[in-house]
Amino acid sequence: MAPSVQIYFLPLVLFALFPIKTTSTSHHHHHNHIKSLHFALYQHETINKTGYIIVNGVAGPGTSQTTTPFGTLFAFEDPMTVTANRSSKVLAIAEGTSITSGLDGLRSISIAKITLRLKHHSGSISIVGGTHNIKPSDHPVVGGTGDFIFVQGYVRSSPVNLKGLTVTYKIEFHLYWPPFATQLHASVN
């Protein structure tokens, strides 16, 4: 969700903090009529293949290990897989853009649509929020479509592997359906 060029060369200490999980777990809750879904996928971004700098920034630090110039506009269409292995099953696509918003070159605003094809749910969620290049970032879920209509919650993006041309992030989803959404769903089915 962050421009990969920015976090591309981050220190590997982050890798130790967010070890690769070999399985994706998903669980459902139905407490007090609040339905929720919790699972993780892995987003793979390949510079100049699934993610590109569209507009160069204008001020602040240059493109470096952790920074991009203020105003840099980055766009991506990244696959999201079940495990950290790029060859594992693709369950989602993340399409979005991110703009460097910190004059220190370390922060950006990201917006994305994540199209999900899970076993029992398909549709999309839209997220928006701030990303810090060297820290895990939470992005609010502002809504959804299909089986995710009216969904809220957040996704947490953490770097997993920042070596090489393809970088990988773990994306943890915490999705909640408000009571009226589950009632609506029940009434239209």
Ligand X SMILES: *[C@@H]1O[C@H](CO)[C@@H](O)[C@H](O)[C@H]1NC(C)=O
The residues of the shown chain that bind ligand X, judged by CB under 6 A, are 47-48, 85, 87
Cβ of residue 135: shortest distance to ligand X, in angstroms?
A: 23
Our CB check for ligand X shows the closer of 63 and 108 to be 63
Our CB check for ligand X shows the closer of 32 and 87 to be 87
CA distance 3 to 70: 13
Cβ of residue 48: shortest distance to ligand X, in angstroms?
A: 4
Cβ of residue 85: shortest distance to ligand X, in angstroms?
A: 4
Cβ of residue 89: shortest distance to ligand X, in angstroms?
A: 10
Our CB check for ligand X shows the closer of 64 and 85 to be 85
